[in-house]
Amino acid sequence: MGCNGWLVGKGDSPVSLLQKCGEPIYRQSVCVPMLQLGWVVTPYRGGGPAAILANQCVPMEEWTYDRGQGAFFGIVRIYNGTIESVATATDKRHTTGEAEQGLLRVPYVPDRQRSSAE
């Protein structure tokens, strides 16, 4: 994401982000589902531990930046002290929380506009 002539990306620190882009217009904590490897010990003899993959909540911070007129919001996810991802909101009417795992938002179209377009 570009801010004031600087580039900010995955692996950068939140301090660097604040220095280059300033304060975000909105901050929130989000739970991002991610596959995690876990081990289960069975009580049966000879079973031994078994590996399982499970979707678990990974807490992250999500910062939203207004990048000016004519530009979409920039959404930065911060995990464990570094920038995990940078995404662009596709519609300024929406705020954060829906750009899960780098997916971009689809603009909302009210039912009456949808039915007239069909």
Q: Going by C-beta distance under 8 Å and a sequence separation of 6 or more, which residues neighbour residue 11?
A: 82, 83
| pLDDT, tens digit (0-9, with 9 covering 90-100), for 60-87 | 999 999 888 888 889 999 999 999 999 8
- The phi-psi region of residue 68 (left if phi > 0; otherwise alpha if psi is between -120 and 50; otherwise beta) is left
> Average pLDDT, stretch 3-9?
85
Q: What is the pLDDT of residue 46?
A: 67
Q: What integer pLDDT is reported at residue 96 of this predicted model?
A: 43
Sheet with 82-88, strands from edge to edge, namely 26-41, 49-65, 74-79, 82-88
Nearest to 42 by CA among 52, 33, 57: 52
User: Tokens at residue 85, please?
Assistant: 């991802």
Q: Which domains does the chain have, with CATH numbers?
A: 2-31+60-117 (3.30.1450)
pTM reported for the whole predicted model: 0.62
Which pLDDT belongs to residue 93? 45
CB 85 within 8 A of CB 55: no
The better pLDDT of the pair 35, 90 is held by 35
Q: What is the mean pLDDT of the chain?
A: 76
